[in-house]
Chain A
Amino acid sequence: MWFVASQFEMRGGREFSRPYSFAGPFLYSQEGMSTTPNKPAAPNKPVAGKKSDQGFVYLPLIAGWLVPGGGHFIQGKWVRGTLLAVSIVAMFVLGLAMQGKLYTSAQDILSLLGMAGDLGSGLLYIVSRGLGLGAQPVQTTVADYGKVFIVVAGLLNIIAAVDAHNLRTGRKS
């Protein structure tokens, strides 16, 4: 395919003269190059996945926070949701089984951070508090492991909820 190029070309919105003296138009070949022209990208279109504009966009984030894997379940990602739910719930339950402590107040900065991590588990934390689980103080090394398991389960649940939100917005496929 042959194209006719002008003697002048546009660079940055300004018109420049070519540095050599060439009178009139010239031809060049596009053979060996891609013959399909580049399509202009759609404006504001997410790259990774498809996006649905219907519904509340933060629903997967909230559902994923309240119920581990819930944000993936409501988007039909059953396998991912199940694996996330099993991992996070197992970690939380194992933490309680090791007599790990649930943070109930934010008296100092460490308690505040621990409580923020615990709150990441959503309904698991609320129900466990309601049932009076994790109320005993940490007295053994294993109970200290359990406390860490509970906090990390909450933090992993936040990561999973944000992942569900990214799926919803199309940032991830």
Chain B
Amino acid sequence: MLHPSHFAAVLLFALFASTVFGITMRDTPRRMVRYGAYCFALFIGSAIVLSWVMFLIAR
């Protein structure tokens, strides 16, 4: 059984979802890569920000 940490699971999720989003939402390879990187950064960034928000709320 695989036991990734929560952040590792977020990284894997963001990587695969961003790949599919980039390929399906844009037309040219350059724009696909840029949009995929943009989605990946948003996934990771929002996860980190929401984690800190929940941490501060829970205190």
Contacts and interface: CB of A to CB of B under 8 A. Distances in A.
Interface of A: 48, 80, 83-84, 87-88, 90-91, 94, 97-99, 141-142, 145-146, 148-149, 152-153, 156, 159-160, 162-163, 172-173
30 contacts: A80-B23, A84-B23, A84-B24, A87-B20, A88-B16, A88-B20, A90-B16, A91-B12, A91-B16, A94-B2, A94-B12, A97-B1, A97-B2, A98-B4, A98-B9, A99-B1, A141-B6, A142-B1, A142-B9, A145-B9, A149-B9, A149-B12, A149-B13, A152-B17, A156-B17, A156-B20, A160-B23, A162-B24, A163-B23, A172-B27
Nearest to B22: A83
Contacts, number: 61
B interface majority secondary structure: helix
Given A84-B20, A87-B20, A88-B20, 17 more contacts: A48-B27, A83-B23, A84-B24, A91-B12, A94-B2, A97-B1, A98-B3, A98-B4, A98-B9, A142-B4, A142-B9, A152-B17, A156-B17, A159-B21, A160-B20, A163-B24, A173-B27
Contacts of B1: 97-99, 142
A127 to B, nearest CB: 20
Contacts of A88: 16, 20
Interface residues of B, number: 17
